[in-house]
Structure formats: structure tokens, C-alpha cells
């Protein structure tokens, strides 16, 4: 993976750091990656761990600095204060990539003028190279710029594209927030194990290992649907079927397996997170 000109990341937090580490692992020289990170401890760690160049603000970049891409990896609440400083790169055929939840493309268009904007929603498993991102581009993004963004996001996991930006709210509710739902599932499984008589240590170990293993099995079984994998471990009249009857509100072999208590709860969960994303977008 290569870039014709330097890459600039605004914000060196966990997600920004994960992406930069992924780029370097895919062959982009650390010398071609610059990060604006005002926190001196975070900046020092990025320089120490990755060998890239860190500055405290956009004003610290050389006057002739011309990035191929600027990625905004700061919290949505500070975007209005941060973004205008990078308007100077709009005329340099730079593409702007945002990974901030809830901040619409229109905001960047207003702040940056006639710029090529890509908005994406990655999730935290990007930190271990197993993330998934969904992206949306405005009309000014060229094929080459879209490919660059796609390649950079692929460094930390799967990438999908949508044409309707409004769908990113649903994406945020599902995959963006989804890891937290899975972690909470582990908490609930551990609590259920304790209620069944297991020690806290054993219940937690079993819950973690079960979700880790099931996720890896799902990952490796690319040709099998989740429904097939579920049926493979569900013997008629067995223990798994008894448990699934509770989660599914009846026969675990019914035609619409997502209809039931757990399915309804997850639908409401994703809908609530998507609504909050819309609220944040204004």
C-alpha cells in the first residue's frame, strides 16, 4: 500500500493510533505519516512506538506541507474548533476522511469549502486488525481518492460503502456500538454462570472463552450462515435447544429465528443507538 504524498492524522487517540499502526504494517513508511496531537504524552508515545512525526497543532506543519489525505480522528464535540485550520489544504487535491460518529458530510463541506469528503464509521476491533468500517463519499471524491480511503481502512479490517449517508446512523447503532453489546453479553453470561453455582472466576473465564471461540468459529466459517452454525450445535430436545427456547421465545427451529425476546431486544438496542447518532448529527 502506498501514498503519493504524506498522510495527516488529526488526533492520535486509540482509533487514530490503530489506523496508523495498520498503515505502517501494510507498508506505508512511518516517515510519510504525520499526526497532530496536542497531548504531549500521546504524541511522544506515537513517535516512540511508530516512528512517525507528531506536532502539537496545524500551525506547526511546514508551510509547504501538502498531504494527500487528512483524517479527522477527534471527538465530534471538538470538530467545530478543529476542522477550520485544515481548510488551507482544500485546494491541494486533498481528500478529507472523518471517523467521527454523528458528524455529517455537510458539516465538513461548510467548514472546508469545495472539498472531497469521505465519512466513515469504524469500530474498536480495528485495534486488533479485525474491525469493520462503512464509508460514504461526497460527489467531489474521485475514484483514486475513494480507493486510497478504502485501502487505508482495509488496513484494520473489512470495508463497505454506502451511497446514502443516512444509513451511517444504522451502521453506528449496529457495528459502531456493537462491540459493547458483545462485551455486555459476556458480562451477562458470567452472571448467569454465577447464578447457576459457578465461582466468579470460572464463570467469567467460561463466558469470555465461549464468546471468543464462537467469534473465531464464525470468522473461519465464511461459507456458513450464523443460522447454520447455530443449528449445528443445537440437538433436538437437548440442552442448547432448551436455552435457545428462552432466548427465541419458543421453538429454536422456527422459520424466523430472529423473532423472539433476544431479537426484539437487539432491534430496540440498535434503534436506540441509531436515534442517538441522528440526535448528535442535529
Is the sign of the CA dihedral 174, 176, 178, 184 positive or negative?
A: negative
Interatomic CA distance for residues 158 and 120, integer angstroms: 12
Q: For residue 120, what are the β-bridge partners?
A: 135
pLDDT at 111: 94
Q: What SS3 class is residue 95? A: strand
SS (H, E, C) 241-271: HHHHHHHHCCCCCCCCCCCCHHHHHHHHHHH
Instruction: Check residue 84 and report its DSSP letter.
Output: G
Interatomic CA distance for residues 241 and 223, integer angstroms: 24
Q: For residue 10, what are the β-bridge partners?
A: 36, 72
Domain at 7-172: CATH architecture: 3-Layer(aba) Sandwich (3.40)
pLDDT at 252: 81
pLDDT at 140: 96
C-alpha cell, 164: 446514502
pLDDT at 76: 85
pLDDT at 13: 87
Interatomic CA distance for residues 228 and 193, integer angstroms: 26
Interatomic CA distance for residues 122 and 102, integer angstroms: 12
pLDDT at 2: 66
pLDDT at 1: 66
pLDDT at 168: 95
List every span in the chain annotated with CATH 3.40.50.720: 7-172
Helix axes 200-220, 178-195, angle to 10 degrees: 140
pLDDT at 55: 96
Each of the 282 residues of the chain gets a pLDDT tens digit; together they read 667 789 999 998 888 998 999 999 889 999 999 999 999 999 999 999 999 999 999 999 998 999 999 999 998 889 999 999 999 999 878 999 999 888 899 999 999 988 999 999 999 999 898 999 999 999 999 999 999 999 999 999 999 999 999 999 999 999 999 999 999 999 999 999 999 999 999 999 999 999 999 999 999 999 999 999 999 999 989 999 999 999 999 888 777 777 889 999 999 999 999 999 888 877
Non-local (6+) Cβ contacts of 17 within 8 A are 46
Amino acid at each position: 500500500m502506498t501514498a503519493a504524498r504524506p498522510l495527516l492524522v488529526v488526533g492520535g487517540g486509540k482509533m487514530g493510533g490503530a489506523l496508523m499502526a495498520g498503515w505502517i504494517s501494510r507498508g506505508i513508511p512511518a516517515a510519510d505519516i504525520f499526526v497532530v496531537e496536542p497531548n504531549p504524552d500521546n504524541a511522544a508515545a506515537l513517535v516512540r512506538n511508530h516512528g512517525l512525526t507528531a506536532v502539537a497543532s496545524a500551525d506547526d506543519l511546514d508551510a509547504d506541507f501538502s498531504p494527500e489525505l487528512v483524517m479527522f480522528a477527534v471527538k465530534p464535540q471538538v470538530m467545530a474548533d478543529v476542522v477550520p485550520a485544515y481548510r488551507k489544504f482544500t485546494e491541494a487535491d486533498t481528500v478529507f476522511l472523518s471517523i467521527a460518529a454523528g458528524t455529517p458530510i455537510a458539516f465538513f463541506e461548510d467548514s472546508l469549502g469545495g472539498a472531497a469528503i469521505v465519512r466513515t464509521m469504524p469500530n474498536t476491533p480495528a485495534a486488533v486488525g479485525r474491525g469493520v468500517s462503512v464509508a460514504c463519499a461526497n460527489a467531489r471524491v474521485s475514484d483514486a481518492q475513494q480507493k486510497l480511503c478504502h485501502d487505508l481502512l482495509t488496513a484494520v479490517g473489512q470495508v463497505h460503502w454506502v451511497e446514502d449517508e443516512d444509513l451511517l446512523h444504522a451502521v453506528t447503532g449496529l457495528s459502531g456500538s456493537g462491540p459493547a453489546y458483545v462485551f455486555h453479553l459476556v458480562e451477562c453470561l458470567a452472571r448467569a454462570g454465577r447464578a447457576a453455582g459457578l465461582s466468579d472466576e470460572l464463570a467469567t473465564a467460561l463466558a469470555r472463552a465461549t464468546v471468543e471461540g464462537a467469534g473465531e468459529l464464525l470468522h473461519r466459517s465464511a461459507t456458513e450462515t450464523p443460522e447454520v452454525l447455530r443449528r449445528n450445535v443445537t440437538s433436538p430436545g437437548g440442552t442448547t435447544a432448551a436455552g435457545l427456547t428462552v432466548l427465541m421465545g419458543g421453538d429454536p427451529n422456527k422459520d424466523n429465528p430472529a423473532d423472539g425476546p433476544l431479537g426484539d431486544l437487539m432491534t430496540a438496542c440498535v434503534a436506540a443507538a441509531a436515534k442517538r447518532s441522528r440526535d448528535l448529527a442535529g
